A and B are shown apart, each in its own frame.
Chain A
Amino acid sequence: MEKLLVFVETKGDEPRKATLELLSETRKLSEAGSFAVTAVGLGKISERAIQKTLGYADSFVRITDALLDDYTPEGYSEALAAYARQEGVLLILGAATQTARDFLPRTAVLLKAGIASDVTAIGWADDPMTFVRPMYGGRVPARCTFAGYPAVVSVRPNSYAVAPEGERRGEYAEWRAGVSPDRIKTRVLRVEVESKGKIDLMEADSIVTGGRGMKGAENFALLEELAAGLGGAVGATRSVVDAKWRDQDDQVGKSGKTVSPKLYIAAGLSGAIHHVMGMDTSGVILAINKDPNAIIFNYANYGIVGDVMEIVPAMTAELKKRTGR
């Protein structure tokens, strides 16, 4: 049976939601007997994360090496490539997070393998296997195949659903990587964390984004309340980031992040193409704008012509009534 390797990324004590989405998908294949799935972690992983992951994979291998305690693209890629080579895996998969997109391409080169980045759908049963990835700012999905294997794939968050955790399926094992010290040439000097517990835009199920129609940085508090009620994140348009009301990290759009949440609420933004390209694949889009001719309404499922300052708090209140949140 062919082997699949799924790179497990953690956030604090937990495996990342995007990793669990991917493992939920690969678990189906394992249950069908199509592939053997091994979850792979690098460096320090918490016990809790390991246990949780074992509810989704046939086995969890933690690749250990002192040099892997801190993430470096050169360290992670060498270790993962070495393990993949030893196991003779068919595919190495990972959620297309910033980290994975940073080191998986190097892994591919080490394995002389092809890579498909930010894939949104996989045709496992196709022969050869097919991978769909978005091009041209998401306007043109392209279906691709590999000329040979092994191959590396990163999967866009929110492409699959997280299934309920199953019973512990498999074994935990460790594997010593022999990472060469002179390969490691980067060193993290310091990390400045601004906001803990902020939900990552790429993984959020709901996003509320504000544009210039919010009329000021202080009014984003209204969006944050709504987002909190939804259990989601707050995004920003380019003009709002340029005006320094919000961080570059929060920017949704061509030169910011591309997101695909289940629910996208566009509040007080016009819908310029460079923004739309970053959220067009969202599940349901609700737009709120004073101008009935705003372009954003061309891209939304539902629209409210009105004042965001009135509508948003009213929605938050309504949500509280329903869910008690």
Chain B
Amino acid sequence: MADDKLDAVIVGGGLAGLAAAYCLADAGRQVLLLERGDEPGSKNVTGGRIYLAPIRPLLPGLFDDAPFERHVVKEALTMVDGRNTTTLSYVQDRWRHAPYMSYTVLRLRFDQWFSARAMEKGAFVVPRRRADDLLWEDGKVAGVRAGGEEIPAHAVIAADGALSFMAEKAHLRQPLVPSRHAVAVKEVYGLDSGAIEERFGLDPGEGAAHLFMGSITKGRFGGGFLYTNKDSLSVGLVLGMDALMQGSEQFDVPSLMEEFESLPEIARYIKGAELKEYSAHIITEAGVGGLSRLFTDGMVVAGDAAGFALNMGVTVRGMEFAVASGVIAARVIDEALKKNDFSAQFLSLYEKRLRESFVIKDMETFRHTADVLSNPRLFTVYPACISSLLDAVFTVGEGPRKGLYRSAMDAAKKHAGPWSAFKDFLSLRKI
């Protein structure tokens, strides 16, 4: 475009923004990315682990030299009932071989790398700039305003995270509803890679992803996580925001974190490790029902800003959704530039393509997950029930033993009413 307007301005240097910047620059477009942090990644938090299979085809070859941490070969889930824990651990042999299914990731390192790749392609990634407002022309989005400076552009990609101001300014976003969001807190502990491999039973380069649920969140929606990085461990808790807001004393996040980390299972892993980082972030967990509107004249919304994240209870996916939505947004904007048509009608192609991709498809499939997962019994009753049952099965005491079926029935009766248990069982079909 020969005029003064930039081809595209991207607000936010997280994975959606960087993916979009990379693609648009690769297509020869003049694209500016504004990131409010000191550098891309400095304000991003993830558990976290990224699933590569859905996004490798979108950016072939790009991730071959990405600074991932470890490829995950072991998945574990622990149900916590006070100090009693039940752990299920699964290793799939396929995951041990390239191409790897998923990797643990450290955002600062990863985002910096991604930013460098985007800049190599010619994107302008400018840190320490916050877009405060949109520019409008005849009722259409025509750029952004950052720190008093007007930056006109043909299209804007709002990739500014879970509390997207840009999406709000364009009236695309629903205001913050606590039940749709969760707060995640995370600590990174430095630990020698040999020690990590020893403690988690891994070969060099291999990683483990471990999720926790139950009494650690005191009966409310949420869970804990632990991921192995090259020479550090990411440990954290996710807590439903409305649970926090109804808060009583026990919902003080730092104390919950402390309690979580004092569990022998966690304490053993982080023993002797050095706390290197502490961060907190808001994540969107509403699922497909909580998506913002995804486009308007001159603008599309990508990544967390659009609400693309999926809590499946046992896994949380956000990063690959961000990357995919960024790529799809970039491609649609590239086509819009070819046609010189930035109308909402043309940009509706963005939503259409998202619906055809795993991004919205997976979110639709797991549409009811949040509801099912906010059943408090999942965090209190069932872990306790399982614990009681296994206690009866494995503990050999002084007196004579009960039969296994008997033990199961006693545990069930003690903790769960049979009718609600049946209902809960039925509801699982929804996830």
Does chain A touch chain B in the assembled complex, meaning CB atoms less than 8 Å apart?
Answer: no
Residues of B bordering A, CB below 8 Å: none
